[in-house]
């Protein structure tokens, strides 16, 4: 297989098909001692997070339920009035959920924050910060940062004796479910369960799966960040992984969808985030389905009217889909977690005859 080039930030939609976009090489490598996978070709300069970065899933009721579940996990571990700081809080959805709940004194930091909440600062942290917290929350941040142990050591310096909650995608789930569309350039790191636990020298307080197994989490003492992880990261054996060998069903999956779609029908993708974007990039690389794709659907209004990187498929609202869909069309739901939520809404709109399947 030749070089696999992917859009570097799939969650930054293009304002037009003429907009500049960046591509980076995906070359996966496994540290066998850690069970840890990274993109050996990752270049931090190519992954830019700015105001155009739209990674919030909070417009979905299901994802709101997931965030409430995370909050409940933390409430069971930490007493009322504990100080919670979310590092990389995105658009502030989880911080604001915690503020409304009232159990924690919550605040956050993120350079892509767009709101006006005085408890959220629009910036990154640095080693010069000194912040008091009982629990540091790191939701879907660590997979974006090369040499994650070094970042955790910096947080140890900033927060001292705090506990930390880390939530990342499960690499085990990705492989078990052949989710090739979850391998994305902006995720430089892929954590197996063993790799997540290896970040700490001592036993973690709590670990588990969430979001129907797609995500995994650990609660640990930040002072227990492992020096052994750093040693094995720098000195351990690394093994190159072949993408097609990891995901042998990729071509079959795309071909099966193509066969299911009638020649005069349209394909629509519900979910214009990483999964949908990456799926269409692989379709483009295979020379399949793009010509029959109507548009991608997303409930985030900040994405609608823009275009997915790589494939240049336009993103439109669910109302646009309800107006455009006709019998014989195929709707592909990019994340199976949202299937029931989406199907219920389609039925409520009285739309019939549209074939629906999940990636």
Domain 36-240 carries which CATH code? 3.40.50.150
Question: CA angle, corner 314, sides to 350 and 266, nearest 5?
Answer: 50
| Within this chain, domains 36-240 and 251-358 share the same CATH topology | yes
**164-220 tens-digit pLDDT:** 999 999 999 999 999 999 999 999 999 999 999 999 998 899 999 999 999 999 999
| Pair 277, 310: CB distance under 8 Å | yes
Per-domain boundaries in the chain = 36-240, 251-358
Residue 30 is encoded by which pair of tokens?
A: 């496994």
Selecting from 3.30.450.20, 3.40.50.2300, 3.90.25.10, 3.40.50.720, what CATH number does the domain 251-358 have?
3.40.50.720
For residue 44, what are the contacts with CB-CB under 8 A and spacing of at least 6?
146
**221-246 tens-digit pLDDT:** 999 999 999 999 999 999 999 999 99
**How far is residue 72's CA from residue 54's CA, in Å, rounded to a whole number?**
26
**How far is residue 285's CA from residue 4's CA, in Å, rounded to a whole number?**
9
Instruction: Give the pTM.
Output: 0.92
Residue 237: predicted pLDDT: 95
Residue 247 is encoded by which pair of tokens?
A: 């995901």
% of the chain beyond a pLDDT of 90: 90
Closest CA to 75 of 170, 206, 242, 224: 206
**How far is residue 342's CA from residue 60's CA, in Å, rounded to a whole number?**
10
Token match 């990187």: residue? 309
Q: Which of 46-50, 74-78, 304-308 has the lowest mean pLDDT?
A: 46-50
């Amino acid at each position: 297989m030749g070089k696999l080039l992917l859009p570097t930030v799939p969650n930054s939609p293009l304002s037009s098909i003429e907009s500049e976009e960046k591509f980076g090489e995906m070359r996966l490598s496994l540290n066998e001692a850690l069970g840890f996978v990274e993109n050996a070709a990752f270049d931090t300069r190519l992954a830019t997070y700015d105001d155009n970065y739209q990674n919030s899933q909070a417009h979905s009721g299901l994802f709101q339920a997931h965030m409430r579940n995370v909050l409940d996990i933390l409430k069971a571990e930490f007493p009322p009035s504990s100080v919670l700081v979310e590092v990389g809080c995105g658009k502030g959805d989880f911080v604001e959920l915690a503020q409304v709940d009232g159990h924690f004194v919550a605040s956050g930091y993120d350079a892509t924050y767009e709101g006006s909440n005085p408890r959220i600062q629009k910036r990154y942290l640095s080693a010069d910060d000194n912040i008091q917290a009982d629990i540091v929350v790191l939701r879907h941040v660590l997979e974006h940062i090369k040499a994650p142990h070094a970042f955790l050591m910096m947080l140890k310096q900033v927060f001292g004796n705090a506990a930390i909650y880390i939530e990342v995608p499960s690499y085990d789930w990705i492989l078990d479910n052949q989710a090739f569309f979850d391998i994305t350039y902006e995720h430089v790191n892929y954590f197996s369960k063993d790799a997540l636990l290896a970040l700490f020298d001592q036993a973690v307080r709590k670990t588990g799966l969430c979001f129907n197994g797609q995500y995994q989490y650990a609660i640990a003492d930040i002072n227990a960040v492992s020096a052994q992880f750093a040693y094995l990261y720098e000195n351990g054996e690394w093994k190159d992984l072949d993408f097609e060998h990891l995901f042998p069903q990729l071509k079959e999956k795309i071909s099966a969808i193509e066969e299911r779609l009638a020649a005069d029908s349209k394909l629509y993708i519900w979910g214009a985030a990483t999964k949908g974007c990456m799926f269409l990039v692989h379709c483009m690389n295979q020379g399949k389905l793009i010509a029959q794709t109507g548009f991608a659907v997303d409930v985030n209004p900040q994405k609608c009217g823009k275009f997915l990187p790589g494939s240049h498929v336009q993103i439109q609202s669910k109302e646009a889909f309800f107006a455009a869909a006709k019998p014989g069309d195929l709707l592909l739901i990019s994340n199976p977690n949202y299937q029931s939520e989406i199907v219920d809404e389609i039925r409520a709109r009285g739309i019939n005859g549209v074939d629906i399947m999940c990636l």
